[in-house]
Structures are given as structure tokens and as C-alpha cells.
Amino acid sequence: MESPEVSTIVLVGTDQVEPESVRLSAGPLSAEFQGGGLRYVRYGEHEVIRAIAFLARDENWGTHALELADVDIRHTADSFEVRFKGKCGPTGGELRLSAVIAGHADGRLSFTADASLVGDLLTNRTGFVVLHPIDVSGKPVVVETVDGNKRATRFPDQIDPQQPFRDIRALTTQHSESIVAEVRMEGDTFEMEDQRNWSDASFKTYVRPLALPWPYTLAKGTSFTQSVSVNVRASAGFTTGAETRAATTRIALGDGAARAMPELGIGVRAEHLSGALQQAQALRLLAPGYFIAHLDLRHDDPEQAVAGFAQLSDAAGIVHVLEVVLTGDGDPREELNRIAAAARSHTAPVALQVSPAPDLKAVLPGSPWPPCPSFQEVFSAARAAFPDMALGGGTFAFFTELNRKRPPTGELDYITFTTCPIVHAADDRSVMETLSTLPFIAASALALFAPVPYRVGPSTIAARDNPYGAESLPNREGALAERICLTDNDPRHRALYGAAWNLGYFTRFAAGGATHIALSELTGPRGLFDSTRPTPLFHLLAGLAVWHGGSVREIAITPGDAPIAAFAVERDGQAALWLANLSARSQAVELGLPTRDATIARRNGDKPDHQALAAGPVTLGAYETVEIRHET
């Protein structure tokens, strides 16, 4: 049974259409041209570069939109060429661009940009950005620096909190036994950051080292040229690999030992308590393992918030974890004692996690940390105020901030952090690609802090906070909502896309050893209701919560890069297999596990009914999520 066609609003929550890409090819060399940049540079089936683009960033790290003109694309039998002009930046301070892209069947690719300034442009970074895909993690690379020296090393495996390589002129990467690719960057000094910190599926090489002052001004009348060239070399054993790809994805149980299902949670912010209390019955029906009660002492009244969280916990029958943001300029003992005093007459939280406000903001490498109470001061004050309660710490911002400012684990019962997939890119494909980075984040968290366990969330597609600016960015509503980096209101959260992404997220961190995973918030722009109607994500989380206390089985997906999320859980002689299509195209999935007398529920909106599973592959529509139940 295949689900019918559904509207764009139902799929992604908006009618706004993403720009189409144009496929460029020259023999085994191929790429996609989109928005003035290149994506997915491949040689045969081997991806060697994730993206190349010329970007201008403003003083708040926002990217100026590039307006294209005079785009001319030409193909021959063994080459392609793209010429275009563009402009970006504020009125009166525009940067004008003239660019040429050329590709050849022998593996050579060049991208040259001539830039000129109509007026003064204040910028944090302007120039080329080159992304390597994350499958180069741990692989050999030769780094050539601007002084001509070369050093053989490897891409980091554990996520690097700083810049793995600096003063770069060229990178020569061993992508496989048969493919080597050199990327040479001219016109400025480049350095690299490990974008897995932000869950981006790439290593980013960019112009202008962060050690230099920023923002800086590109003066009116300035002109400059930058270029990126790629040279792919294939050995005699190279094959395109196209003929080996299977048309159907196969799902089977793996050989790994089962592990305990993580506790599933959601978030509730003090500022949304009024609406949350109105949804207390819905929270009871949802039945997560816990909710995270977020209290920010910079603007929330602690007595009112503590009472409201306890009231919600009692009404819904769901325990809560108190998450406290300290002001950062007050005495942690006084602030936490005030909260403890307020909590004594109410249902107590089951855990406390605490962080000072300055640690919610990013501190770039080389920049001084802002004044802030020390970890020791904060954790000692928390233990004194709540002596018998589990204590967590780390960051309420992204893994990046945890990786760059690591708390001592001796005072803590668990580590906590969140992630957000729309820090650097917000298009549909890039957001789904962040799921492939989560196993690296999980492995790095374990390497840094084990045996202390770690918890994740509340995480959503939208940014609940913005570590890189004064606040998260607003968005338009309904069909006019856009895909915006670091917005606090992403339309896909309420659509089928959001449910699929969240299943992928839960699956990755469940396999990666997280003991608790909090997804979404109950109400507000990152909540579980579209107006008053429960979203597909509500029904997904309610379905997962049923399996509380179960055992998670390892899953094997073939081919490994198939856009499918799969999650298998067992309890009391019953089992469920959850599948989500992470792409906009239908996917056929062959089930290599027992399915006798199995039922299937398609989760495309309202609470689904289980029906008998038909024989043969299961076809998933765009961003569709299904649950298959059977006896063990």
C-alpha cells in the first residue's frame, strides 16, 4: 500500500520552492550548479567535494543573498562551462561578482571569481568556502601551506573544537584506494574548521583566518580575484560504481547486542507555560518519559515558573527535569537557593541541569571568554541547593560550545547539550544531511566524558537559542514561511519532513549511547501543535513513547547511504520497526526480518491505524514515516 500524493504544505510546511539545481557533467566528473555555487562534485560515484561557493557574510555572520544575472551554461562532449554575474550586500555597499566555472573529463575543475565593491562593505568573511564531505574523517590528507611547505596528516576522527588546519594553500585528500583529489585555493589565506561541531556534514575551508580582526571593511572601489581548482586523479582500478547500486533498500537486524531504549523527553519553556498548562491532557496522552522545564533567570520569575512546572507535572503525570539558566553576573548560590526555596512546596523535579547565561553564547577560537562564574562555583552551588538530586551540566547551546568549553565531570551525574541543523545551511537536503553527523557527535561525547553518561536536547530543526547573535531569527507564518538559518520557527517542524527528521535524530543518538533524548517542545513555535491540531511529530513521539523500557536492536541498512532512517525495538514479546523516508522521492524498502502476521501504520497526519502488512517491499512516500509491528 502506497500513500497518495500530498501537498507541499503537508510535506515541508511551506509553499516556498527551493531553487532547482542544474547537473553539470564531463565524462566521470559531475557537479550540481545551484544559486551561484557548486554542490556534490563527484568523480564517478565518489563524492570529492560537498560544495564550493563564494559568500559574503555580514557583521553578524549572516550570509548576503546572491542575486544572479547573465547565467550561461555550456556543455561539450568532454567539458562544461558556467559563466555568471551576481551581486549581494546592502544597498549602496554591494559586492559585484563575475565568475567562471569550468570542468573537464580528465578530472580538472576550476571556479574563479572576480569581485568589486560598489561601496564600503562591512563583513566578517568574504570569499570562497570549500566543503569536504564527512566521509573523509580520519582519512589521509597532505596539507600545503601558504609558504609552500607540505605535511602529511589525517582529517580528524574525533570532532576538533578548533581549526584542524591553518594557513592553507592546497589539500590533497585520499578519498579511497582509487581516488585522490587536490583542492587548491588562491587569492587569500585559507583555514579549516570541523563543521561536525554544528552537525553539518562537512569540513569547511574558508578565507581569512579567525585570528585576524573581524568585522572588517572592504572599501569602495576595491577589487580582487579568488579561485578554487580541483584535480581528481584516479588509479587504474577505478570504476564508476554506478552499476553496483541497488534499486531497493534492504533493512535487516544487525549482530550487535540490544541496548536499553533511551528515555524520550520534550521541552517546556517558562515563557510558554500558559499554553503548556492548557495542553496538560495532551502531554498525558503523549506520555514521554520526562519534560525539560526551562527557566531563564534573566527574564523568568522563578517562583511562578517553578509552581507552573510542578502543576504541569502533576496534571499530566509526567516527571520533569529543571533546566536553569543563571544570570551570569549574580551569585550562583543566591540564585539557586531562591529556586530551591520555591521548589520546596511543590512536586520536586527528578534532576537539575544548570548553566550560566554567558555559556549560551559562542566564543570563537582566539577570542577571550566573557566573565562568568566558574564550573566549580556553579556546580558547588547546585549541589548545596539541591543535595539529593541528579545534577547535569555542559551547555544548553550546541555541541560546539560543549566541545570548546568542557566541564569537569567529577561534579556531574550527566553531561547535556543540544544540536541544531540550520546553523550554516537551511535547505532541505542539507538539513537531512546533518543526521549523518550525529554518530560522530555521539562518539566524540563518549570519548570526552565517559563513563559519565550524556543526554541530548531539547533539540529541534529550529534554533531555540542563537549562540551567534542577539536572538534567533523570526520567520513568516503559514505558506509564506521560509527556510532560514537560525530561525526560531521552522515550517518543516510541523510537517511530514519534521517527523522523518526527528525519527532519524532519535535513531542516531539511540545507537550512539545517549541515555535521554529530548525532542521538540510541547507548545510555542517549536511545539507539537499546528494551531490546536497535533502535528505528525506529536503522533511519532506518542508512538515511540509506547515502547518505554524496551530494548533497541541494531539495524543494518543496505546500501549504507540510503536515505532511510530505521529503528527497531522490542518489549514483552512484541516488536516494532520504524522507518522514515529522509528524501523527497519515494523509496522501496525490502524487509529482511520476520514479518509474519505483521501490521503497518502510515503516520501521515492523524493518529494512524495498524493494518495487515502486504507481502513484498514497503514503499515510502516523500518524507513518510511508518511503524511495523510484529511478535518476536
User: Do 217 and 285 lie in a common domain?
Assistant: no
**Which among 525, 546, 567 is the end of a domain?**
546
Q: Is residue 364 part of a domain?
A: yes
Alpha-carbon gap, residue 359 to 371, rounded angstroms: 10
Query: What percentage of the chain reaches a pLDDT higher than 90?
Result: 81
Alpha-carbon gap, residue 226 to 218, rounded angstroms: 15
Alpha-carbon gap, residue 245 to 563, rounded angstroms: 13
Q: Is residue 1 part of a domain?
A: no
Q: What's the CATH number where 220 sits?
A: 2.70.98.10
User: Do 399 and 369 lie in a common domain?
Assistant: yes
Residue 93 has pLDDT above 90, yes or no: no
pLDDT value of residue 246: 60
Mean pLDDT within 323-344: 96
pTM for this entry: 0.94
Q: What is the pLDDT of residues 97-108, one digit of tens each?
A: 999 999 999 999
User: Do 449 and 480 lie in a common domain?
Assistant: yes
pLDDT value of residue 1: 42
Residue 597 has pLDDT above 90, yes or no: no
Q: Is residue 9 part of a domain?
A: no
Q: Is residue 6 part of a domain?
A: no
Q: Is residue 3 part of a domain?
A: no
User: Do 534 and 572 lie in a common domain?
Assistant: no
Q: What is the pLDDT of residues 468-517, one digit of tens each?
A: 877 788 889 888 999 999 999 999 999 999 999 999 999 999 999 999 99
pLDDT value of residue 500: 97
User: Do 405 and 280 lie in a common domain?
Assistant: yes
Structurally, the chain folds into a number of domains equal to 3
User: Do 471 and 604 lie in a common domain?
Assistant: no
pLDDT value of residue 467: 86
User: Do 419 and 485 lie in a common domain?
Assistant: yes
Q: What's the CATH number where 574 sits?
A: 2.60.40.1180
C-alpha grid cell, residue 179: 581516488
Q: Is residue 4 part of a domain?
A: no
Q: What's the CATH number where 527 sits?
A: 3.20.20.80
Residue 427 has pLDDT above 50, yes or no: yes
The DSSP-derived string for 489-532 is --GGGGSHHHHHHHHHHHHHHHHTT-SEEEEEESSSTTSSEETT
Which residue carries 518519559 as its cell?
289
pLDDT value of residue 575: 92
- Domain of 433, in residue numbers: 262-546
**Which among 546, 577, 609 is the end of a domain?**
546
Q: Is residue 331 part of a domain?
A: yes
Q: What is the pLDDT of residues 553-593, one digit of tens each?
A: 999 999 988 999 999 999 998 999 999 999 999 999 999 88
CB atoms within 10 A of CB 142: 15
C-alpha grid cell, residue 521: 517542545
User: Do 523 and 564 lie in a common domain?
Assistant: no
Q: Is residue 181 part of a domain?
A: yes
**Which among 517, 546, 575 is the end of a domain?**
546
User: Do 558 and 531 lie in a common domain?
Assistant: no
523: Cβ contacts below 8 Å, ≥ 6 apart: 268, 272, 275, 276, 278, 279, 529
